Each structure stands twice: as C-alpha cells, then as structure tokens.
Structure 1
Amino acid sequence: MGVSAELLAGQEPIFDALISARDRFGDKEILEDQDRKPLTYTGLIRAAFVLGRKLAAMTEPGERVGILLPSSAGVVVTFYGLHAHGRTPVMLNFTSGERNLKAAIKAAGVKKVLTAKRFIQQAKLEGLVEDLSKVAEIVWLDDVRKTIGLQDKIYGLLAGMAPRRFRVRTKLDDPGVILFTSGSFGAPKGVVLSQANLTANVRQVAAHIDLNPDWVMFNPLPTFHCFGLTGGVLLPLLCGMKAFQYPSPLHAKQIVELLPEVKASILFATDTFLNQYARVAGPDDFSTLKFVVAGAERVRDETHHLFNTKFGGLKLLEGYGATEAAPVVAVNHPDRNRPGTVGQMLPGMEWKLTPVPGIETGGRLYLRGPNVMRGYLSADDPEVIEPLEGGWHDTGDIVDVDRDGYVAILGRVKRFAKIGGEMVSLTAVEGLASAVWPEARHAVVSIADARKGEKLVLVTDREDADVGRLAEWARSHGAPELAVPKKIMRVAEVPVLGTGKTDYVAIQQMAEMDKAA
C-alpha cells in the first residue's frame, strides 16, 4: 500500500469524520468564539442537525448554498448543518467586492446566501447585501433560529444520540466545499474540493506534525480562505483539538490579549497579520503557544527576526499551500524548521518540476495527490467541472527542492519580468526592498517599456524610499543592476486582500494609471 492509499484507508466523508472524532476523543469542548459559549462535539452535532434541518426545508438535496459569515462558531455550525443534510457549502469572500461576489454566485449556481444581521451591521456590508439580493435570495440565520421550536430541539437531541441514522449519506467523491481562489492575479476561480480532498489534507498534516488533542487552535483567518477552513476548523475538530474562531485577523490588540486567555497552543495566520501581532504583543502574550504557522504569502525576514528575538525563539513555521490542494502542500516541522523554505512536502503528495525558459534554478511546480481538487468550475456552466489533465494541478509557482526535500518558493511564473532579455523575479526584487527597509511593506510589478521590454515599479509605504538607496544596496551585495526598480510609487498603504495577501491586481492598475497620467 502506497503512502496515498495508506492515508485514505478508512477515510470518511466530512460529517461522518466529525462523528468519529467524538467517538475517538470523547465528548469534550471543541469549539468556541469571542462570545465565549463553548460547544462540545455533541453540542456542535446537535446544533448542526437543528439548523441544517431548517436549511434543508428551503433547499434541494445537493444544492450549493452560499455562506457569507466571519470565522465564528456560527459559520462552523452552518457548514456542518449543510453537510448533515447533503447540501454543498459555497464559502463567499465578503472582502472581494460586489463584482467578484456576483461572479462567484453565478459561477457556483448559488440561489441562496446565508448570513447574519449582526455581522452585516458590524462589518457595514448593508449595501453589498442589497446588491447581492438582486442575484440570490438572502437568508438571515437570525430569523431562521427564531423559528426553532420544541420539535426541532427534540429532533436535535435524538440526532445527537444517533447521528449516523439521521445524517444524509454522502460519498467521498461528493463535493465538500466550493471556494474561490484569492484573485491576487485576476478574477477568482471556483475550486471544487471533494469531501475526500478535505479530510485527506487533515490526515496529511496530522501525519506530518504530531498534534496533541489537549491543544487549542486559534484561528483568526476567514473560512472563505482555504487555510482558515481546513487549518483553522477541520484540522482541530477532526484531531480532537479545541478550535477557537475569531472574526477578523485585523484586530491585532484584541487577538494578542485573547491568546493567553484561551490558552492558545497554535496560531494560524499570514505574514502580514503575524507581523502586526508580534509588534503589539508583550513577551508573555505568546507564552502558551507551542508554535505559529504562517501560510498564504512569503514570510519576511523581519517577521522571523521579531519572533526569534522578542518571544524567546518561538517557532514560526512557514508553510505553502494552494486552494486547489485543500490547501496544505508543504510545511516546516517544529523539530525540522528551515527558515527561507516552506518545509517538506506532506505525505502522499506527488510533485514534478518542469523547466521554465530563462529561469535557471528550479522549475514550475505540478502537484497530484489525495488533497488535490476535482477541478475548476466551468465559467460557462455551474454544473460542469473542468477536470485536471492526468490529475496534475499546475500551481504556476517556480520552486526549488533541495536534497533534503525542503521546498523554496522562488516566485510565480506571472511574477517574473523580462528586462533586456533577462528574466527577473519580482519576488526577489521585493526581497531587495525589504532588506533595505525591513519595517515597510513593498510590492513590485512590471509595466511595458519601449526600450527594455518591461520596467520594474516598486510600490511602497516607505515615505523616503528612493532608487539611490536600492542601487547602493544592490551594488554592495552583488545583486544585478536589472533587479533595481527605476520607478518608485510611495503610497499611504500597500493594497492587500481580505486574506492578507498583497493585491497585485489593484497595484498593477495603480502602476498602469500612473504611467498613463
């Protein structure tokens, strides 16, 4: 039996896996959010059945149902409630704007969107919801909960005692979730992850890093982000760890204060947010953490330095993933942590590198494995899933893998510019700017140039950034002159997506508009 087959042996669909976790770990407290009303496994299962039954009455079996909610106990109950009754959750990114959301709703064939009044009011999204109501029915979960009566509660009690009798039977190949790629380089694409993809990824991570069921996972990332859904919700729940959900990664001060209070053991976030948390945290605020996991974007040297010096060498483990791979592909290990890399590939992952003309080191990464998606939603028909050729997903990333299997991300294929006939990594140029001004945020894009083909533009929040300093650093450190941007745009804030990733679409538009002006 190969590694993949071993990982998949005895695998179950998402809701069944939750029931099995209760059988294995006992009926312990497993889910909590900022309202501080923890749920046990049974509490979660009952709540999912009760709410799911109400949602099932207004939807068709197998229907794709939109969820527009922040990280909370509520979003977890809603996700499992749909699964208990054979519906497919479609996680909608409420930070992506009206155009992208409408496109997502259309692409997935969503007829109903589930949300909550308190969230919409607090996030000031009333206008957005009004716009979305023109293309889908908005279902207020607050109103649905008011209709829960004695009969529903009795149903929940019975279902909690014998969940396998009450849940709708689903198959491993059935859709587990529909998510949309972040859209940092263009329009978001609909990714269909099967139930097996999600539960396999949980097993892969658990096989790679020994997780203690007594630990608490703190998740500030949104569940419309695959890292937040798999890493922040499914991984802890299915491995016996308490999952603490926090509604926004932006609240650095509140998060830092909560970590020791809830005895957080693992913190999941992106470099952008971790850097902010480390700046506002006192030395004791991270005292309960065993390690911190960073994904979704490259971890800057400055962030590593902050963790090493301020928090007694608290391990910051950088990982790598893709929505299409459910999402974790590689991650450093607490005992085998090699900064500058994203760690080793997870068990069961197949990978291959193909050469890229003009790029000497590494190659374009293709992935195959039990966690790799069924395919993208067709842009023309929500019912059609465009399958992967031979099961291989083209990540579009240029990576290098060393002799020990550690993966280094060199950049995206789209993040290389051809200047004077030479290929230049825009990610490496960003690294150059970070070396000169480590505390600032930088992004580099390229625009057309009549003389050299393309020209580099540095967009930075460093007020006194100038080309001379960059050129001087490049000369003294042996960096090629081609890697020095000839144009700098100083901005109050470098645009980021709701996930914390740099918004290269917005930055490219800024650079193009500036050129045209």
Structure 2
Amino acid sequence: HRRCSPDDAAVVLFTSGSEGEPKGVVLSHGNIIANHKQLKARINFNPQDVVLNFLPMFHSFGFTVGTMLPVLNGMTTFFYPSPLHYSVIPEIAYDIGATIMFGTNTFLAAYAKKAHAYDFYNMRYVVAGAEKLQESTRHLWMDKFGIRILEGYGATETAPVTSVNTPMDYKAGSVGRFMPDMLYKLEPVEGIEHGGKLHVSGPNIMKGYLLPTNPGILVPPASVYGDGWYDTGDIVQVDDEGFIHIQGRSKRFAKISGEMVSLTAVEQLAGQAWPDGHHAVVALPDPKKGEQLVLLTNVKQATPKALAAASPGVAAINLPKKVMIVEHIPILGTGKTDYPGATQLAAEWLNAANTDDGDDA
C-alpha cells in the first residue's frame, strides 16, 4: 500500500463558472481536513446532529461541508439529489428531524415560501454561502421559523470556508470572521475608497489549478503577495471587530463616468424594491459613459422609474437605466446566478431592441 501524504491531491473540484470558464481546483487531504478543523473550532456540532444535504457533490460547498464534514465527524446525513424541489425539501427536514442545513440564498428563499412554519422545528444551524444572502431572506426565516441564518463566505480554492458567522460571533450583513489560522491582506483598488481586493493564506488554500489551456499541469495559486497566497478577486472591507463585509467581485464592478459601481449593491436595491423577485444586474459597454447597467428581473411591473422611486437618496449612477423582464434568470446547478448567460441575454435584447439611453423597460 502506498502511503499518502497530507499534501497529496485528494479531489479535483471545478469552479462554478458563474463568471467564465470553469477551472479544476486541486485540493489536498490536508486542505479538506484543515477546513473541517477550522469549522469545528468555531461551530459546535456532534454525532447527535442530523445533516440534510441537497447541494451537489461536484460543488465545494456540497462536497467538503455538506458531504465530507458529516461523514468524517460521525453525523447522520441525509442526501437529496436536487435542491430544486422546493416543496419536498422542507418536508424532508421535518421528517428526519434535521438539525443542520447548508444552502444558497436562492434555495433558502424558495424553501421558506413553500415550507410550513414548523418544518424546520429541530434546526440548530442553517448556513448560507455561495452567493449574497438577501435581507428579505434573512427576515423571512427569522419571522416564519425563528431561525437566524448564519451567512458564510468562501471559494472552491479555500476548500471552501474562508469565514462564517457563528452563534457566538454574529453580525448581520457580514459574512463573519476569518477561519482560525488564516491570514489576509487587502490590495488597494483604484476607485474603491474603503476596503480592497482580498488575498488570503492558510492551511485550507488549494494546491493549484488544472486549466483547460494547459491540461495536466498544476498551476499554483497566484497573488501579488507571493507563494501560498490566493487572490480571491473579491472586494471586501474588514471592520474593527474582524467581520468581513463583501462589496462584490472585482469583476462585478462597472466603471460608469469614471466611478466604480458595485453590481451586487445594485442587485440589493432591486431585492429591497421587489423582495419576491429574482434579479441580476450586468454591465454592458456604453459609448458615452464607458459602461451601462442592465437589470434582469422576473418582476413584471419592474421599471427604472419604479426602482428609482423605491430607492430614495440613491444616486442615479447606481441605478440601471434599462430593465429587461424575463421569465427566469439563468442559474447554474449550484444555485448561483449564471452571469455570462445573463450578460449574453441582455446584450442580445439590447441589440434586438436597438435601444438608446432612455428609460426603456
């Protein structure tokens, strides 16, 4: 029998592809076990817990946290093959007496609307990750079930948990504090006054990438801070108490009339105006202002003027000039918004409509 080293590759997981071509992420045995130990130092779980996991195993959240964490820590686990069965999953949670559940904002919002108020009666922890938790989802879970969703943050490259809110360390709107034994640095970004681009290091940072352009060759994580550091590509602010506030992906900022605008923040405005809708904001080229914002939404009555009226005090530069009504926002199997797909939809719609800079809907 060949002896395994903790640094040997344990699994290759692929990034979600929410912003471009998926990349193969090579995680070692040490990366995965370290992330488990980091979580265990912050959140109390035990063999009496019952985990309900409906997240796909090809996704790092569904694999490391949803699958390996309960299996390697002696917890009972119930696997369900699809997160899209919004009426079924709350019933399963009730039937098995689930105490721990992991999900994305999209899925958690959908379950809350379908569930009976008692379906999650036994739940100790509901942890949200992979995308921004909307205020409307947070409030709905608290009002209907009395459950405080713990929002976390991570990436496939960090195996995946970088930070998480816990019952002891909790701040609404943040994604919690860094995992133990992780270091961070914020790289200044032009146009961003508070915060910067997050680089992290620690025992849970991947071995490297397998890229379609260079198959079979392991490419170590790259960062301006050298070996062992990973550039997350996220613009974040870390407050005085160590809580992380995500401002958006560096790729999810648009430069309009020389100012940096967070597309994630604009999506949140739409979420506040129409809490029951699903929204995505994309940036497209604009001959006059550099880039322009387009809101894709499944809310039939949405218009730029209605959004402006629902967002008093928000500068016009932070509001989309065009709104595209769609039946469904493109989403990936992981529950994340498919931004390349949404951008393509919006570009085709603009070209077909031959729109100008007016308030089109």
Give the TM bin, normalised by the shorter chain: over 0.9
What's the C-alpha RMSD, in Å, of the aligned pairs? Answer: 1.1
Deviation at 1:262, TM superposition (A): 1.1
Q: Determine the structure 2 residue equivalent to 1:91.
A: none
In structure 2, stretches of 5+ residues that fail to align are: 353-361
2:317 corresponds to which residue? 482
**What secondary structure, in the 3-state scheme, does the structure 2 residue paired with 1:361 have?**
coil
Match of 1:361 in 2: 194
Match of residue 228, structure 1, among 43, 62, 81? 62
1:443 paired with 2:280, answer yes
1:31 is matched with none
Distance 1:507 1:216, change over 3 A: same
Aligned sequence identity (%): 51
TM-score scaled to structure 2, two decimals? Answer: 0.94
Structure-1 residue corresponding to 2:308: 471
Distance in 2 of aligned mates of 1:301 and 1:381: 42
Instruction: For 2:47 and 2:40, locate their aligned partners in 1 and report how far apart those are by CA, in whole Å.
Output: 11
Distance in 2 (CA, whole Å) between partners of 1:360 and 1:276 is 35
Question: Match of 2:200, as an amino acid?
Answer: L
Answer yes or no: is 1:290 the counterpart of 2:124: yes
1:473 positional shift: 2.7
Amino acid at match of 1:293: V
- Hey, what's the Cα distance between the residues in 2 that align with 1:227 and 1:190? 15
| Structure 2 residue 332 is matched with structure 1 residue 497 | yes
Q: Does 1:200 align with 2:34?
A: yes
User: 1:376·1:386 contact (CA, 8 Å) conserved in 2?
Assistant: yes
2:283 is paired with a residue of what secondary structure?
strand
Deviations 1:120-158 (A, max 9, x none): xxxxxxxxxxxxxxxxxxxxxxxxxxxxxxxxxxxxxxx
In 2, Cα distance between equivalents of 1:495 and 1:224? 19
Mapping of 1:72-471 within 5 angstroms?
168-312=2-146, 314-388=147-221, 389-471=226-308
Distance 2:172 2:80 in 1: 27
Query: CA shift at 1:168, angstroms?
Result: 4.9
Aligned-pair CA distance for 1:245 = 1.0
- 8 A contact 1:217–1:241 mirrored in 2: yes
**Letter of the aligned partner of 2:343 in structure 1?**
Q
Distance 2:228 2:175 in 1: 23
1:479 to partner: Cα distance: 1.3
CA distance in 1 between counterparts of 2:321 and 2:292 reads: 7
Counterparts of 1:378 and 1:466, CA distance in 2: 41
Secondary structure in 2 matching 1:335: coil
Q: CA deviation at 1:379?
A: 3.2
Structure 2 letter corresponding to 1:269: G
CA shift at 1:258, angstroms? 0.9
Answer whether contact 1:442 1:459 (CA < 8 A) is retained. Answer: yes
Helix, strand or coil at the partner of 1:217 = strand
Larger Rg: 1
Q: In structure 2, how many angstroms separate the alpha carbons of the residues matched to 1:302 and 1:394?
A: 30
> 2:87 aligns to what SS in structure 1?
helix
Q: Would the alpha carbon gap of residues 504 and 378 (structure 1) be closer, same or farther in structure 2, given more than 3 Å must change?
A: closer
The answer to whether structure 1 residue 511 and structure 2 residue 346 are counterparts is yes
Contact 1:368 1:393 in 2 (8 A): yes
Q: Which runs of 5+ in 1 are unaligned?
A: 1-166
CA distance in 2, matches of 1:355, 1:255: 43
Q: What are the superposed Cα offsets for residues 204-257 of structure 1, whole Å, 9 maximum, x if unpaired? A: 111111112210111110000000001111111222211211111011211111
Paired amino acid for 1:363: G
Query: Is the Cα contact below 8 Å between 1:290 and 1:315 reproduced in 2?
Result: no
Q: Which amino acid aligns with 2:251?
A: K
Query: What is the CA–CA distance in structure 2 between the aligned matches of 1:320 and 1:242, rounded to whole Å?
Result: 25
Letter in 2 for 1:298: K
State the partner residue of 1:112: none
Once residues 274 and 473 of structure 1 are traced to their aligned partners in structure 2, the CA distance between those partners, rounded to angstroms, is 25
| CA shift digits 1:28-51 (9 cap, x unpaired) | xxxxxxxxxxxxxxxxxxxxxxxx
- Following TM superposition, by how much is the alpha carbon of 1:359 offset from its aligned partner in structure 2, in angstroms? 1.0
User: How far is 1:457 from its partner?
Assistant: 0.3
Q: Give the length in aligned residue pairs.
A: 348
Question: Offset at 1:501?
Answer: 0.3
* SS of structure 2 residue aligned to 1:507: helix
